[in-house]
Chains A and B, each alone.
Chain A
Amino acid sequence: MPAREKVIFEYSHPGRGASDQWPAEPPAAALADLPAKLRRARPPELPEVGELEAVRHFTRLSQLNFSIDTHFYPLGSCTMKYNPKACNQYAMLPELLARHPLAPESHGQGFLACMYELQEMLKEVTGMQGVALSPMAGAHGEFAGVAMIRAYHRARGDLKRTEIIVPEAAHGTNPASATMCGCVVREIPVNAQGDVGLEALKAAVGPNTAGIMLTNPSTLGVFERRIEEVARIVHEAGGLLYYDGANLNAILGKVRPGDMGFDVIHMNLHKTFSTPHGGGGPGAGAVGVGTRLMPFMPLPIVGKEGERFRWLTQVDLPQSIGRLSAFMGNAGVLLRAYIYMRLLGRDGMRRVGEYATLNANYLLTRLKAAGFDAAYPERRASHEFIVTLKRQAREHNVTAMDFAKRLLDYGFHAPTTYFPLLVPECLLIEPTETESKDILDAFVAAMSQIQKEAEQEPERVRGAPHTMPVRRLDDVRAARQLDLTWKPAAQP
Chain B
Amino acid sequence: MSNVPADLKYTRSHEWVKSLADGTVEIGITDHAQHALGDLVFVEVPDAGRAVKAGEACAVVESVKAASDVYAPITGEITAGNPQLAGEPEAVNADAYSAWLMRLRPAPGALAAAALMSSADYEKFLAAEG
Contacts and interface: CB of A to CB of B under 8 A. Distances in A.
A480 B41 contact: yes
B39 A476 contact: yes
A475 B64 contact: yes
Contacts, number: 17
A414 B128 CA distance: 31
B53 to A, nearest CB: 14
Interface string A424-456: 100000000000000000000000000000000
Contacts of B36: 424
Contacts of A390: 130
A372 interface: no
Contacts of B41: 476, 479-480
B90 interface: yes
Given A476-B41, A479-B41, A480-B90, A421 B64 contact: no
A479 B65 contact: no
B112 interface: no
A421 B66 contact: yes
A479 B66 contact: no
B42 interface: yes
A418 interface: yes
A418 B89 contact: no
B42 A418 contact: no
A284 to B, nearest CB: 27
A325 B36 CA distance: 41
Tell me if B's interface is mostly helix, strand, loop or mixed: loop
A79 B65 CA distance: 18
Chain B residues touching A, range: 10 to 19
A390 B36 CA distance: 12
Contacts of A476: 38-39, 41, 63-64
Contacts of B38: 476
A476 B66 CA distance: 12
Interface string B16-50: 00000000000000000000101101100000000
Contacts of B39: 476
Contacts of A418: 65-66
Contacts of A475: 64
A390 B130 CA distance: 10
A29 to B, nearest CB: 49
Interface string B88-109: 0110000000000000000000
Nearest to A479: B41
Contacts of B65: 418
Nearest to A419: B66
A73 to B, nearest CB: 21
A476 B89 CA distance: 11
A389 to B, nearest CB: 14
Interface string A461-492: 00000000000000110011000000000000
Contact of B42 (A421, A424, A479): A479
B58 to A, nearest CB: 16
Contacts of B89: 480
A476 B42 CA distance: 10
A242 to B, nearest CB: 23
Nearest to A480: B41
Nearest to A482: B41
Contacts of B66: 418, 421
Interface in B53-102: 63-66, 89-90
Contacts of A479: 41-42, 64
A421 B38 CA distance: 13
A252 to B, nearest CB: 30
A403 to B, nearest CB: 15
A108 to B, nearest CB: 44
B125 to A, nearest CB: 16
Contacts of A480: 41, 89-90
Contacts of B42: 479
B29 to A, nearest CB: 16
B49 to A, nearest CB: 23
A185 to B, nearest CB: 11
A21 to B, nearest CB: 39
Contacts of B64: 475-476, 479
A424 B90 CA distance: 22
Interface in A354-397: 390
A390 B42 CA distance: 25
A367 B77 CA distance: 51
Residue of B63, B65, B90 most packed against chain A (CB within 10 A):
B65
Contacts of A421: 66
A418 B64 CA distance: 10
A475 B39 CA distance: 10
Nearest to B39: A476
A481 to B, nearest CB: 10
A125 B88 CA distance: 51
A479 B42 CA distance: 8
Residue of A421, A424, A475, A476 most packed against chain B (CB within 10 A):
A476
Nearest to A475: B64
A479 B65 CA distance: 11
Contacts of B130: 390
Nearest to A417: B65
17 contacts: A390-B130, A418-B65, A418-B66, A421-B66, A424-B36, A475-B64, A476-B38, A476-B39, A476-B41, A476-B63, A476-B64, A479-B41, A479-B42, A479-B64, A480-B41, A480-B89, A480-B90
Interface of A: 390, 418, 421, 424, 475-476, 479-480
Given A390-B130, A476-B38, 14 more contacts: A418-B65, A418-B66, A421-B66, A475-B64, A476-B39, A476-B41, A476-B63, A476-B64, A479-B41, A479-B42, A479-B64, A480-B41, A480-B89, A480-B90
